[in-house]
Amino acid sequence: ILNVEQSPQSLHVQEGDSTNFTCSFPSSNFYALHWYRWETAKSPEALFVMTLNGDEKKKGRISATLNTKEGYSYLYIKGSQPEDSATYLCAPLNNAGNMLTFGGGTRLMVKP
């Protein structure tokens, strides 16, 4: 079982603010890193699956970077909107199976 840490645990920002959170994971035997967004009363939805060191992925106002050598990933949200309010989860993998080890998540609340 991997030790996955996400920080901060929760975050309150104003609409329009940009924000970022961190996911830390063991760098040994890295295979892939998943990011999910989980809105209240809905199912988790995939944001990114990243595999390469130095990789950067973007989806609209959300982007993520990956450093597999030091074992961390950053998720950035530019110009936060109330609809971005959700829990953001990261999950690294150290083998080819879909045995995701989720971090505790960062709960983002965006105030209008």
Is residue 13 a contact residue for other proteins (CB under 8 A)?
no
Residue choice 1, 40, 83, 112 for contact with other proteins (CB under 8 A): 1
Report how far Cα 35 is from the mean position of its chain's Cα atoms. Answer: 4
Residue of 53, 104, 109, 111 interacting with other proteins (CB under 8 A) = 104
Which positions ≥6 away from 12 have C-beta within 8 Å? Answer: 109, 111
Report 37-56 residues binding other proteins (CB under 8 A). Answer: 42-46, 49, 51
Exposed, middle or buried by CB within 10 Å (0-12, 13-18, 19+), for 71? buried
Burial of 76 (0-12, 13-18, 19+ CB in 10 A): middle
Measured from the CB atom, the residue of 65 and 94 that comes closer to other proteins is 94
Residue 15 token pair: 């609409």
Closest distance to other proteins from the beta carbon of 43 (Å) = 4
Query: Which residues are at the interface with other proteins (CB under 8 A)?
Result: 1, 31-32, 34, 36, 42-46, 49, 51, 89, 93, 95-105
